[in-house]
Amino acid sequence: MSTTATTFPFSRKAQRTGDSPIAWLMRKTIEDPEILSLAAGFVDTGTLPNDLVREAMEKVFAEPRTGRDALQYGTTPGYLPLRQTVARRLGEQGLGQVDPDCLAITNGGQQGLYTVTEAMVDAGDIVLVEDPTYFVYMDVLKSAGARVLGVTTDDEGMTPDGLRDRLRELHETGQRERLRILYLMSYYSNPKGSNMSARRRRELYDVYLEEIGKGPMFLIIEDACYRDLTLEGEPEPYMKEFDKGNEHIYLTGTFSKALAPGLRLGWSYMPPDIHAALCRQKANQDFGSSNMNQRILLEMLEAGSYEVASARFRERYLVKRDALVNALREHWPAETEILHPKGGLYVWARLPEVDNDPGSPFFNAVLDEKVLYVPGYYCFCEETQEPKPKDQMRLCYGVIDLEPMTEAVRRMGRVADRFLKGG
Ligand SMILES: Cc1ncc(COP(=O)(O)O)c(C=O)c1O
């Protein structure tokens, strides 16, 4: 007797992995070129450093020997001279002696987040995140089968009180054993644009230090993805600076935001045992990140091109951020609340008590005006400490040009006026 079936029996993990909730927002933008998207999280196209990358590529391929080295397989943790350079730069940024053997180069910061999660989280394990958080990481966690518990945030990100409350609750309900990761965005978070003060970093780390003796070890992920897009003043010191012995914090950054996401290169600096576990997973995935792209990147770091490219991005985003904030002040109702970001790519806005969830009358009215935004709905956790707000949203000034950006804000402002006056 033969058994036949008409559908493939997908793995549990595949079954847990849905389309990214904002995939359709992105699709919409592609399908309808008239749409003005304040949702897309891409970087400013006109600022991408074509000239500098071409120069670096020419150098890498000027000699057959260096060119062929670049075309060969590399190592799993990444090209050693690149790791040494990243280690030196981190040292200069306040981390002192950084061991390149505790650094990994990954396919964007995203692969690092995915892989460290793969190494640490089994289905049913718990991860604490800021609420709202980076929704793509939330997808990674759901796919791993993690329980994602949101911790309340304020204008500086996760609150120490919120974290204490969550930890207490885990003890009281006998679930502390399942805690694996505490995920924090320390600079200009996605989606809120919030930045942690030095004091907040210390407070959160102190709560962590108090906790680690009380149950199994868990890892802090410090995601510093937007640090190099500091638009005002100097960046705060990394939280990782407190972790003198490199025992507790997985610090990650990227070359996507201030250089080129097309290179798909990010880095992470982590405790040695985490590094070993991460590299084993990464070896299974891809043996190592593109050797060629790593050599191009190293060339750019050594020639000072990274500084040039990142300064260009900062200059451009300063103009765009100010234009977006000013347009919101000019065209949106006076009741609008915004969090003024000191860096990054996002403005977090609140239209008090206007439900902007996907499919809401407000959302549809904005869509009728051919404008898209990211409803806060996608960024807040399912398990929150406070009821999930419906009146907050993420606006991105990354890829949209100045004129369409102002027009999008104007159109949304007209809709907002109507809704605040009762629809
Ligand atoms: C908070 C945060 N972390 C990490 C990433 C990963 O970016 P990439 O993989 O391009 O380095 C992103 C991308 O948008 C992000 O917003």
What HEC string does the chain produce? Answer: CCCCCCCCCCCHHHHHCCCCCCHHHHHHHHHCCCCEECCCCCCCHHHCCHHHHHHHHHHHCCCHHHHHHHHCCCCCCCCHHHHHHHHHHHHHHHHCCCCHHHEEEECHHHHHHHHHHHHHCCCCCEEEEEECCCHHHHHHHHHHCCEEEEEEEECCEECHHHHHHHHHHHHHCCCHHHEEEEEEECCCCCCCCCCCCHHHHHHHHHHHHHHHHHCCCCEEEEECCCHHHECCCCCCCCHHHHCCCCCCEEEEEECCCCCCHHHCCEEEECCHHHHHHHHHHHHHHHCCCCHHHHHHHHHHHHHCHHHHHHHHHHHHHHHHHHHHHHHHHHHCCCCCEEECCCECCEEEEECCCCCCCCCCHHHHHHHHCCEECEEHHHCCCCECCCCCCCCEEEEECCCCCHHHHHHHHHHHHHHHHHHHCCC
* Identical fold between 17-48+308-420 and 52-305: no
Q: What is the mean pLDDT of residues 347-375?
A: 96
Calculate how far, in angstroms, residue 257's C-alpha sits from the geometric centre of ligand 1.
8
The pLDDT value given to residue 28: 81
Digit-coded pLDDT (tens) for 384-408? 988 999 999 999 999 999 999 999 9
- Residue 29 pLDDT level (bands cut at 50, 70, 90): confident
Calculate how far, in angstroms, residue 398's C-alpha sits from the geometric centre of ligand 1.
13
Q: Sketch the domain layout of the chain as residue ranges.
A: 17-48+308-420, 52-305
Among 43, 226, 256, which residue has the most ligand 1 atoms within 8 Å of its CB, making it the best to mutate? 256
CATH no. for 17-48+308-420: 3.90.1150.10
Looking at the domain covering 52-305, what would its CATH class be?
alpha beta
Cβ 110 under 6 angstroms from ligand 1: yes
Cβ 267 under 6 angstroms from ligand 1: no
Q: Quick check: 12 pLDDT over 70?
A: yes
Digit-coded pLDDT (tens) for 101-156? 999 999 999 999 999 999 999 999 999 999 999 999 999 999 999 999 999 999 99
Q: Of all residues in the chain, what percent carry a pLDDT higher than 70?
A: 99
Minimum CA distance residue for ligand 1 atom 14: 41
- Residue 254 pLDDT level (bands cut at 50, 70, 90): very high
Other C-beta atoms within 10 Å of 370: how many? Answer: 16
Q: Quick check: 92 pLDDT over 90?
A: yes
Q: What is the mean pLDDT of residues 21-37?
A: 84
Calculate how far, in angstroms, residue 63's C-alpha sits from the geometric centre of ligand 1.
34
Residues 6+ apart with CB under 8 A from 20: 135, 136, 139
Digit-coded pLDDT (tens) for 159-204? 999 999 999 999 999 999 999 999 999 999 999 999 999 999 999 9
Calculate how far, in angstroms, residue 137's C-alpha sits from the geometric centre of ligand 1.
9
Cβ 125 under 6 angstroms from ligand 1: no
- Residue 35 pLDDT level (bands cut at 50, 70, 90): very high
Calculate how far, in angstroms, residue 36's C-alpha sits from the geometric centre of ligand 1.
22
Calculate how far, in angstroms, residue 109's C-alpha sits from the geometric centre of ligand 1.
6
Q: Quick check: 43 pLDDT over 80?
A: yes
Cβ 266 under 6 angstroms from ligand 1: yes
Digit-coded pLDDT (tens) for 292-332? 999 999 999 999 999 999 999 999 999 999 999 999 999 99
Q: What is the mean pLDDT of residues 248-277?
A: 98
Minimum CA distance residue for ligand 1 atom 3: 225
Cβ 41 under 6 angstroms from ligand 1: yes
Q: What is the mean pLDDT of residues 40-46?
A: 93
Ligand 1 atom closest to 223 (CA): 3
4 vs 225: which has the higher pLDDT:
225
Cβ 49 under 6 angstroms from ligand 1: no
Question: What is the chain's mean pLDDT, rounded?
Answer: 96
Calculate how far, in angstroms, residue 113's C-alpha sits from the geometric centre of ligand 1.
9
CA distance 53 to 397: 24
The pLDDT value given to residue 186: 98
Strand partners, 154: 157
Other C-beta atoms within 10 Å of 285: how many? Answer: 15
Q: What is the mean pLDDT of residues 75-104?
A: 98
Cβ 254 under 6 angstroms from ligand 1: yes
Q: Quick check: 22 pLDDT over 90?
A: no
Q: Quick check: 44 pLDDT over 90?
A: yes
Ligand 1 atom closest to 264 (CA): 10
Cβ 109 under 6 angstroms from ligand 1: yes
- Residue whose token pair is 């490219």: 309
Residues 6+ apart with CB under 8 A from 310: 228, 229, 258, 259
Residues 6+ apart with CB under 8 A from 279: 76, 77, 104
CA distance to 16, 174, 320, per residue, from 382 (Å): 15, 20, 32
Q: Report residue 184: phi and psi, to 5°.
A: -130, 140
- Residue 3 pLDDT level (bands cut at 50, 70, 90): low
Ligand 1 atom closest to 189 (CA): 1
Minimum CA distance residue for ligand 1 atom 2: 225
Cβ 252 under 6 angstroms from ligand 1: no
The pLDDT value given to residue 41: 86
The pLDDT value given to residue 328: 98
Q: Quick check: 339 pLDDT over 60?
A: yes
Q: Of all residues in the chain, what percent carry a pLDDT higher than 90?
A: 92
Cβ 255 under 6 angstroms from ligand 1: no
- Residue whose token pair is 């507790």: 248
The pLDDT value given to residue 4: 73
Q: Quick check: 1 pLDDT over 60?
A: no
- Residue 423 pLDDT level (bands cut at 50, 70, 90): low
- Residue 2 pLDDT level (bands cut at 50, 70, 90): low
